[in-house]
Structure 1
Amino acid sequence: MKQCFTLLLITILLSSCYTSKSLASRIQENPMVLTPSALTGLYENRIEGDDQNSLWNDLCLHNKDKKQNIAEGNQVFLSYIEGNEITAELYQDDFLIDKMTLTGRPKDKFFTIRKGSHFFTLIFLTSIQSKKTILGNDANADLLIAQGHSHTTMLMEDEAIDDAEVVTAVYLRRSDQRPDRKILK
């Protein structure tokens, strides 16, 4: 029992979980102070020249029930009213395609969405998964995003698999206003 507890403690201490500060250090632009009016806005869903990633896809990391089709949607409207929730709406021009609510909390100059730190332990095997995203704005009100996703598996006290990735991006702000919502039929 003592060995199992020691193994679990060592695993937690050595896991590659991300802190908001470590993710913020990966962003090259200087963030503004986080306010609901600064974060709320209509953003480009894709970065020009990048066909692999999209803002909606980045946010879907925290909601496994949502589809992550890169080809759909050219705009994402984020709505943040003080508190612990952000609503994201995916649009194709003025047509609302999908919507999701993400919980998190404001911390320093970023809104932090954390979905992770899942620990699974058997006698000899430990698995840890961590997902964290921070959202903020630069001086041009464009959306800054840094996202960490890690998965570590340990056999006894030896690390068997360590898969970690950090992604940063800047999504251009198109407007402060939500598009006129038309619903696809």
Structure 2
Amino acid sequence: YRQRGEISSWVRDASIVPHLESRLRTNRYVAIGEYHVYGADADLPVVRRVVELAREYKLFLHSHSDADAIERQFKQDPQARILWAHSGFDAPDKVRAMLRKYKNLWCDLAFRSDHANGGKVDPAWRAAFLEFPDRFMVGTDTFTPERWHFVVEHANWTRQWLADLPTDVAERIAYKNGEALFGSMLKPQ
């Protein structure tokens, strides 16, 4: 966003498109987002252009969306690569269904706490992590400045619940999936 107040208005603001196009021509990126879009708003012209630009520039889309908006973005570009912010704040069964349906969908676990309690992974989330060990990754969601104060606390909490998973799965979710998806994109050209 150009400024914080655009979180809910950007989808209807046509001036976003030339701004984004200019940034993409000038700078190097691995993704567009995190951007907020829900339901049928994903079919608005501005969002459609964002999906087109991601395809054109071979970028990931980092979409803070409900499942409906994710589905709509995949209808626009079935080959899109989408990182679903916060796993849509959806229940693990819904997340698993979406991951089964879309091979180019990955999920971050930022700003959620329902997947673990007391250092133990919730059984439904454990099933999701074990079924899709290559499709989840941790996140910090330092979207607002005040969240930076909790990065260390969040990292410690994350290490606790990751320790409850098989080591190879925990390492994938902790950092290996991120490296696999974005590592080669971040290397100097």
- Structure 1-normalised TM-score? 0.25
- Structure 2-normalised TM-score? 0.25
More strand by share: 1
More helix by share: 2
User: Which has the greater radius of gyration?
Assistant: 1
Higher relative contact order, chain-length normalized (CA < 8 Å, sep 6+): 1
